Structure 1
Amino acid sequence: MAKRPVTFDAEALRSFVTGIELGSFVLAADRLGRSTSAVSAQLKKLEQQAGTELVQKAGRHLMLTAQGEVMLSYARRILSLNDEASAALSASTLSGSINLGMQEDFGEALLPAILGTFTRAHPQVQLSASITRNQQLLDGIRHNEFDLAVCWQADDVPLFPTSRALGRIPLRWIGPPNFSLAHYLETGEPLPLLVFEAPCLMRSAATAALDKAGIPWRIAFTSRSLGGIWAALSAGLGITLRTDFGRPAALKILEDLPPPGEIGITLHQSQMQPGEPATYLTDAITGFFATGQ
């Protein structure tokens, strides 16, 4: 008799993916609304089902084993199909239009994970998506040019009455693979920063963190697009401060610089009364960030 294939537990897969993407199963537990022990038990269950170790400790951080990397790829695909099936089965005869704005950082994650699934589940909804800077998104919300906008949230900027906080994620110092941070820290030579044109929340956070630590810096490159920042990093022109959203795998996180803190993510909604399509998309976006996909 042929050996029966293993049926992996979907909730265990979700805990595994969330923990890896957040870099911490403690954070994953908080994101998923579970206890840390429950998430740890799910990881152990998944490893038992897989018959191999998936994660190992590397200092203060988690590191995937070779089999864990394979599992992560499949787990993401399984969860994506699971969530798409759920959305498709609950699809209604929704119709109308939505104009969504988002930060460039979110484009790579949101477009396939949410918008593709949403449009397949609700084919009669006309969806327009615009990718632009935070200030343009906020101005668009104020003038009702966007129905919804996913933005970075500054600590000193109040939410609109119709806004919804989606959570907070760590900021990361990011550099090219061959970047020698030790050279700058030892010689006191100003760190070359690759940043967006001002105003920019992460540009301000980067310079403030370095100033507080007494580390000299200089603006080595400015860009109007995130793609330009990633290209400049790949060319070895300096370092930047961003999040893990959209970070190319070849670029490394720099650990020996002052902790830059966290940044909030907010879903802003037009002051106009939202239609049913906007309500459905709001729930999809909120769920995306709640589960750490």
Structure 2
Amino acid sequence: MAKRPITFDAEALRSFVAGIELGSFVLAADRLGRSTSAVSAQLKKLEQQAGTPLVQKSGRHLILTERGEVMLSYARRILRLNDEASAALLASPLNGSLNLGMQEDFGETLLPAILGTFTRAHPQVQLSASITRNQQLLEGIRHSEFDLTVSWQADDEPCFPTSQSLGHSALRWIGAEHFSLEHYLHSGEPLPLLVFEAPCLMRSAATAALDHAGIPWRIAFTSRSLSGIWAAMSAGLGITVRTDFGMPQTLRVLNQLPAPGEVGISLHQSQTQPGDAANCLKGAIMDFFAGHRLRSHDG
């Protein structure tokens, strides 16, 4: 007779995932509205069900065991399906139309992680998504061409009463595996930069960091699209500054250069009266970025 498969406890899986993503089971308890002892008990229950330790102590912290890494991957998928089913079956039917605008960096993460789930859960909502640059996103919100936008937070961006910060993400120097950064640093040749056409937050951050460190640079390639920059980088034409969002796995972070700082991420909402569909999608977007453990604006 075949052995009966284990049915893992969903709430235990949720506590486990939250604890790992937040880096603390105390913080997980606070987010889930449970006591720390209850979350610890759920972790112990999950380990008993799995028949193996999932976390281990490393100094003052808990880290995943090898089997814990496997469990984390499956737990995220189980919870994603569970929450998608819950949204589809329990939520009140939503309808209408929504226009979402976003930076190209978020296309490969937001589209599959949120929009696919949202459209399956709310098939009566006609959802349109546009990828464009910051200025167009802000103009679109100002003129109610978009219901929601996710954009970089510029120092001089207009203040909309319906906007909020989603946190801050570190900027990274990124280049191809075969790009010889050491050659430029040792020879004194200007670093070739691959950037968006001005004005651009990342372009300004890159040149300011190099200028401050006295490292010469030159603009080797400009593009109106991020995909163009990734392609030029893969060809070895130079390096750029972006965040981790949407970075191709074939590229690498270059840690030898001066840190270019960080950039804020804003969620803007049209100033027209939002409907239930817009509020539902807004909540999903906020949850998505909360899971990425961005630094909050207050530190």
With structure 2 as the length reference, what TM-score do the two structures score? Answer: 0.80
In the other structure, the counterpart of 1:237 is 237
Residues 1:250 and 2:259 are matched in the alignment: no
Could you tell me which amino acid in structure 1 is paired with residue 117 of structure 2? T
Q: Which residue of 2 aligns with 1:105?
A: 105
2:172 equivalent to 1:172: yes
Distance 1:29 1:251 in 2: 33
Kindly indicate whether the alpha-carbon contact (under 8 Å) linking 2:13 and 2:75 is maintained by their aligned counterparts in 1. no
Which residue identity is paired with 1:285? I
2: CA distance, partners of 1:50 / 1:171: 41
Give the AA of the match of 1:10. R
User: What SS does the corresponding residue of 1:263 show, helix, strand or coil?
Assistant: strand
Change (3 A) 1:167 1:198: same
Which is worse superposed, 242-251 or 81-90?
A: 81-90
- Number of paired residues? 277
Residues 68-217 of structure 1: pairs in structure 2 closer than 5 A: 70-71=70-71, 73-217=73-217
User: How far did residue 180 of structure 1 move?
Assistant: 1.9
Instruction: Work out the CA distance in 2 between the residues paired with 1:180 and 1:56.
Output: 39
1:11 corresponds to = 15
Residue 100 of structure 1 and its aligned partner are, at CA, apart by 0.8
Amino acid at match of 2:16: A
Q: Which residue of 2 aligns with 1:60?
A: none
**Post-superposition offset of 1:69:** 6.3
CA RMSD of aligned residues (A): 3.3
**Conservation of the 8 A alpha-carbon contact between 1:55 and 1:68:** no
SS in 1 for 2:178: coil
The answer for the alignment partner of 1:22 in structure 2 is: none
Percent sequence identity over matched residues? Answer: 67
Runs of 4+, deviation exceeding 4 Å: 44-50, 52-57, 63-73
Residue 219 and residue 143 in structure 1: after superposition, are their counterparts in 2 closer, same or farther (change >3 A)?
same
Aligned to 1:277: 277
Aligned with 1:11: secondary structure?
A: helix
> Displacement, 1:197?
1.1
For 1:269, give the aligned amino acid. Answer: Q
- Of the two, which has the highest radius of gyration? 2
1:56 shift after superposition: 11
The residue identity in structure 1 corresponding to 2:238 is G
What secondary structure is seen at the aligned counterpart in 1 of 2:17?
A: helix
For the structure 1 residues 55 and 114, does the alpha-carbon distance in structure 2 shift closer, same or farther, using more than 3 Å as the test? farther
- How many angstroms does 1:14 deviate by? 3.8
Q: Distance in 1 between matches of 2:51 and 2:263?
A: 35
Between the aligned partners of 2:27 and 2:249, the Cα distance in structure 1 is 25
CA distance in 1, matches of 2:217, 2:68: 38
TM-score, normalising length: structure 1:
0.82
SS of the counterpart of 2:112? helix
What 5-or-longer segments of structure 1 have no aligned partner?
20-24, 58-62
1:53/1:136 Cα in 2 relative to 1: closer, same or farther (>3 Å)? same
Give the AA of the match of 1:182.
E
How far did 1:199 drift?
A: 1.2
What letter matches 2:14 in structure 1? Answer: A
Measure the CA separation in 2 of the matches of 1:129 and 1:91: 23
Q: Are the aligned partners of 1:202 and 1:242 in contact in 2 as well (CA < 8 Å)?
A: yes
Assess, with a 3 A threshold, how the Cα gap between structure 1 residues 259 and 71 changes in structure 2: closer, same or farther. Answer: farther
Deviations 1:258-292 (A, max 9, x none): 11111111111112111221111111111111122
SS at match of 1:129: strand
Whole-Å separation in 1 of the counterparts to 2:54 and 2:192? 40
Distance 1:99 1:52, change over 3 A: same
Distance 1:198 1:71, change over 3 A: farther
> CA 1:166 to 1:248, structure 2 compared with 1: closer, same or farther past 3 Å?
same
> Match of 2:288, as an amino acid?
F
Cα pair distance change 1:202/1:120, threshold 3 Å: same
Tell whether the 8 Å contact from 1:192 to 1:217 is kept in structure 2 after alignment: yes
CA separation of 1:239/1:68 partners in 2, compared to 1, >3 Å: closer, same or farther? farther
C-alpha contact (below 8 Å) 2:94/2:124 kept by paired residues = yes
Q: Aligned AA for 1:229? A: I
Q: Which runs of 5+ in 2 are unaligned?
A: 294-299
